[in-house]
Structure 1
Amino acid sequence: MGEGNKPWEGKVGNAQQIGGIETAVLDNGSGKGVRIAWIDTGAGLRYKLVLDRAMDVASASFGAHALSWISQVGITPPSPFTSEGLDWLRTFGGGLVTTCGLSHVGGPEEDEQGKRGLHGSISNLPAEICSVKQPDLGNGDLDMHISGIIRESSVFGPHLVLKRTISGTLGKPYLKIRDEVTNDSNLAAPHMLLYHVNFGWPLIDEGSQIIWSGKWESRDGDLENRIFNEKNDFKSCPPPLKAHAGFGEDVAFIQPEPESDGLCRAGIYNPDLGFALRMSFSKNQLPWLINWQHWGENEYVTALEPGTHPPIGQQQARKDGSLIMLKPGEKRQYELQFDIITGQKDIASFVNHNQ
């Protein structure tokens, strides 16, 4: 639906016939009582937000094809007090986007600053929904968005506030996440943020291409890492691997290469499906990209994770001087966009530019 083009004019009286935002509450299973929102772009892209889990993006599909990986855990209620050790894994539903942070990204750790569990607590906190804007066909306004506030707070601080808006345009297959993180306390507060973007079958399959460019090294620093080594084609999805059973995984830390507009682009292209899912983010806002590969049987997933830091933890970031300390009232803005590419020329440009 290009600007000025109204193929629905005179034929549709309710925008929900094409798409829009629908909120609901799950009433069965592990997610019973959890608030969600379905967003239908009216262009083949449809996705589900979990409002009680930081408005993270759970299932997503384009046409008949799933895009995101859904873990065996699935959707669960928020668990703000399961923030020690590996508790995070007990509520990690996968999904297209799981937010990590806001003050710690990485494994469990403890120091004089306190205890921190895997990847922080923000994804286990519910949002206060502030506004829902639906497309208005009558006025030709096709924009839609849903906005909310998530608070990572404690008495005596820190108080980090995430204002999140997820938006799109009716008739266009994309979604945009716009985040603003504010230190709402009277003391400086540590800040780390990572978007855990998880792709699943059939978008990833044998022969699907993992698209990114930039300098990289394996997390373990081993030049002979079984996946991330110069002799291996680690940008092509393999079949399930027995070596990745259980906790088996391999990870690369990437310094992504921005294009001329300052944006980095990464994603997945499955030639058999005929489309690519492209993710765009600012190098200035999110200077790191992580590629997690976990090809376990029935746990077949790869993730591309833009972040302010690699998942090294607050302790290491403090030691190496990279930890962000937000002053009282200080804000940081982040944008992350996903779009579906179907034209062969556009796909070729995306893939070739990120070889």
Structure 2
Amino acid sequence: MHLYGRSWTRRELEARVGSISQIGGVRRMQLTEGKERDVEAIQVRTGAGLTYYVIPSKGLDISLAELGGMPVSWQSPNGDVHPAYYEAEGTGWLRTASGGLLMTCGLAHVGSPAEDSGGRYGLHGRVHHTPASQVNAAAVWNEDELDLIVSGTVEETAMFGTKLRLVRTITSRLGQNRIAIEDRVENAGFASCPHMMLYHFNFGFPLLGEGTHISFPEAEVIPVTQGIPVEGYDRWEKPDPAAAEHVYEHHLAEDAADSQGMAEAVIHCPVFPVGAGSQPISASLRWSVDSLPRLLQWRMPGAGEHVLGLEPANCTVDGVRGPGCYRELEPGESVLYKLELNLAWKS
């Protein structure tokens, strides 16, 4: 593996530490105070500067993510609230949404509250507040590479209703500042089922500063929020208490995907803190276009709510549940989603 500016074998590293966890690894823990009490967290440290926390209690979503001890994610004022406090009706989701690097929205609904023949659906669905089962966290040697793997299953079910199953695997590697997410969602029922999926990645200060800009794949940019300008969606500014949220949809060009079928958006920060100084970094988000053909952008440069959301999706976010607004899964059918985040220091 490549670490600390040179290549190492497994045995060369093991000779220099009492435990490889001195450098990086996975560690399970439990929160103990307030509304976070009894929430389980899994810390992942890659040894190259990246640390992040996977939350099995909340759908295996990812809370705080740091590079070199500095945050790259935005944390909501709610904290990692236990799902017992979740209010499913209307916009109650906002009271217990954790922010963090990733909040998954779905599995049967995404976007504004809605109602159809299947029932009523609250903002952004239930999966972010559904605990995972069969959770595994392990550091696994593959010759001279150490893979850090968190996996588990999240089920959204109802008698006479939805029976959707998400199997998630999150992988990093010692010596690399990369997170790979592979999700498979299956209709485990015996009737067709609407399936909506949106990956709500949340980036914040100090990654977001007055000099930060964002590069997007080739696309037509359409404002979802009525009356807002298209200009400025690729830049950032200092907090403004009077700022209002702006939502855009990027209609990807046919050739937006690379040879691996992935599209990419990149956040460029010219002055990310490093010790007593600073250094440019980039945060690159990639996703599988075949299963996630839409990209939503949530731009909120407010005070407190100072966050950029990049949101690959398979659906709309306006609460409409008509044809073309989501994917229909047949009994036994499944769909695979692939995403990755790469953090890189720039010279």
| TM-score above 0.5, yes or no | yes
Asked if 1 retains the 8 angstrom alpha-carbon contact of 2:108 and 2:162, the reply is: no
| Partner residue in 2 for 1:250 | 246
Contact kept? 1:275, 1:341, Cα under 8 Å: yes
2:316 and 2:326 in contact (8 A); partners too = no
Among candidates 323, 327, 333, match of residue 326 of structure 2: 323
Per-residue deviation at 1:311? 1.1
The separation in 2 between residues aligned to 1:20 and 1:314, in whole angstroms, is 43
Structure 1 residues 343 and 241, CA gap change in structure 2 (3 angstroms): closer
Offset of residue 105 of structure 1: 0.9
Greater strand percent: which structure?
A: 2
For the pair 1:298 / 2:304, whether they are aligned, the reply is yes
Letter in 2 for 1:195: Y
Query: Aligned equivalents of 1:162 and 1:64: distance in 2?
Result: 31
Listed one character per residue, the Cα deviations across residues 308-349 of structure 1 (whole Å, up to 9, x for unaligned) are 12313352xx24x343111111111101101112244xxxxx
Structure 1 pair 80–120 and aligned structure 2 pair: CA distance change class (3 A): farther
User: Aligned to 1:334, what secondary structure does the other structure show?
Assistant: strand
Matched residue, 1:284: 290
The aligned residue for residue 314 of structure 2 is 308
Identity of aligned residues (%): 34
Q: Which amino acid aligns with 1:253?
A: E
CA 1:80–1:328: 2 relative to 1, 3 Å: farther
**How do 1:48-87 residues align onto structure 2 when only pairs under 5 Å count?**
48-79=53-84, 82-87=87-92
The TM-score, its normalising length taken from structure 2, stands at 0.90
Task: Report whether the alignment pairs 1:212 with 2:211.
Answer: no
- Alignment deviations for residues 150-197 of structure 1 (CA, whole Å, 9 cap, x no partner): 110111231100101111111111111110101111111100100000
Match of 1:265 in 2: 264
**What is the rounded CA distance, in whole Å, between the counterparts of 2:86 and 2:15 in structure 1?**
53
Gaps spanning 5+ residues in structure 1: where?
345-355
> Counterpart in 2 of 1:33?
38
- Structure 1 counterpart of 2:335: 332
Distance 1:21 1:97 in 2: 18
Report deviation, 1:30.
2.1
2-structure distance, mates of 1:110, 1:170: 46
Residue 260 (structure 1) shift: 4.0
For the 8 Å contact 1:45–1:63, the answer to whether it is kept is yes
* Aligned residue in 2 for 1:120: 125
**SS of the counterpart of 2:200?**
strand
Q: In the alignment, is the contact (CA less than 8 A) between 1:97 and 1:197 conserved in 2?
A: yes
Asked if 1 retains the 8 angstrom alpha-carbon contact of 2:118 and 2:161, the reply is no
SS in 1 for 2:206: coil
Q: What's the RMSD between the two structures over aligned residues?
A: 1.9
Out of 126, 145, 149, which is 2:149 matched to? 145
Return the offset for 1:9: 4.7
Structure 2 gaps, min length 5 = 273-279
Q: Secondary structure at the match of 1:30?
A: helix
Task: Classify the secondary structure of the residue corresponding to 1:88.
Answer: helix
Assess if the C-alpha contact under 8 Å between 1:267 and 1:304 holds in 2: no
Q: CA deviation at 1:144?
A: 2.0
Alignment partner, residue 203 of structure 1: 207
Contact 1:289 1:310 in 2 (8 A): no
Paired residue for 1:104, among 109, 123, 148?
Answer: 109
The Cα of 1:77 is off from its aligned counterpart by: 0.7
Q: Does the 8 Å CA contact 1:103/1:314 hold for their aligned counterparts? A: no
Tell me by how many angstroms 1:80 deviates: 8.2
